[in-house]
């Protein structure tokens, strides 16, 4: 009887932890359903026509922005090398400012270009279709920006806008969606799809349920050993 009493405290602890692990697994299953709903909405938005840019845009919808391109203004973001038939080609993503009818300015990421210095497009599209990207703030790992030469390594619209001497810049960047230009073309290579968040919740749920199962077997072995002790 004494040995059984020695299992009360560990048993209560194991019981509580077991149900906490089960609760975490069930929560991940609910998250799975929620994430699948978001991904389904993104797929619908991908196939649908773009909507007018709302006041509070979501990164998971396709929007269209109209206005006037501010002449002579451009910046490059990032530093990425693309392969070509003639070997690696360095470049970055071309950003140009679009002024909307209300006076606000949206920085538009037109896509990757084989440029070492920002050169505005001579004939940009009349409107921009894409999705909204939230700002990325610099941290101690970020390479230093070079506003004097229009080169940026952090996607911060306020900082880029200030470097371009712009005011009333929107707190986000529009990532253009569109077809790829022919290979070797100097035109920007835009994004092809709306961003899709990762969906690993099923694996997470299995992990939590697995921990619960391991806990049960571990407690059985522990209890057996404790009961056999003199």
pLDDT at 81: 84
The answer to whether residue 13 is domain-embedded is yes
Q: Give this prediction's pTM.
A: 0.77
Q: What are phi and psi of 72, to 5 degrees?
A: 75, 10
pLDDT attached to residue 97: 96
Point out the least confidently predicted range of 4-13, 64-73, 124-133.
4-13
133-165 pLDDT, tens digit each: 999 887 888 889 999 999 999 999 999 999 999
- Check if the beta carbon of residue 201 is closer than 8 Å to that of residue 35: yes
Question: Looking at the domain assignment, is residue 25 inside a domain?
Answer: yes
Average pLDDT of the residues in 110-136: 90
Residues 67 and 39 grouped into a single domain: no
What CA–CA distances, in Å, run from 199 to 59, 196, 215?
16, 9, 26
Q: How many domains are there within the chain?
A: 2
Percentage of the chain exceeding pLDDT 70? 97
Could you tell me the end-to-end alpha-carbon distance of the chain, in angstroms, rounded to an integer?
Answer: 12
Angle between helices 8-47 and 201-228 (to 10 degrees): 170
- The answer to whether residues 117 and 213 belong to one domain is no
- Domain containing residue 118: 63-176
CA nearest 170: which of 80, 100, 86, 88? Answer: 100
One domain, residues 112 and 39 = no
Residues 114 and 148 in one domain: yes
pLDDT in tens, 89-115: 888 999 999 999 999 999 999 999 988
In a domain, 68, yes or no: yes
Q: What phi, psi does 29 have (nearest 5°)?
A: -65, -40
The CB-based long-range contact list for 155-162 (8 Å cut-off, 24+ gap) reads: 155/77, 155/109, 157/107, 160/75, 160/77, 160/95, 160/107, 161/97, 161/105, 161/107
Asked if residue 214 and residue 124 are part of one domain, the reply reads: no
């Amino acid at each position: 009887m004494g040995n059984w009493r020695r299992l009360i405290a560990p048993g209560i602890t194991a019981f509580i932890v077991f149900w906490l692990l089960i609760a975490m697994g069930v929560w991940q299953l609910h998250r799975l359903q929620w994430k699948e709903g978001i991904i389904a909405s993104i797929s619908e938005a991908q196939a649908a026509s773009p909507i007018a840019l709302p006041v509070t845009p979501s990164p998971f919808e396709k929007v269209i922005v109209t206005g006037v391109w501010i002449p002579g203004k451009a910046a490059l973001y990032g530093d990425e090398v693309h392969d070509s038939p003639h070997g690696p080609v360095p470049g970055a993503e071309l950003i140009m400012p679009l002024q909307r009818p209300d006076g606000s300015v949206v920085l538009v990421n037109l896509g990757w270009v084989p440029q070492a210095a920002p050169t505005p497009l001579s004939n940009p599209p009349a409107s921009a279709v894409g999705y909204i990207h939230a700002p990325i703030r610099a941290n101690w790992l970020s390479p230093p920006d070079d506003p004097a030469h229009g080169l940026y390594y952090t996607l911060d619209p306020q900082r880029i806008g200030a470097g371009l001497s712009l005011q009333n810049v929107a707190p986000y960047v529009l990532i253009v969606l569109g077809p790829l230009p022919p290979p070797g073309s100097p035109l920007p290579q835009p994004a092809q799809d709306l961003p899709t968040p990762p969906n690993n919740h099923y694996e997470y749920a299995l992990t939590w349920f697995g921990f619960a199962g391991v806990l049960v077997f571990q407690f059985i072995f522990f209890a057996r050993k404790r009961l056999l002790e003199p």
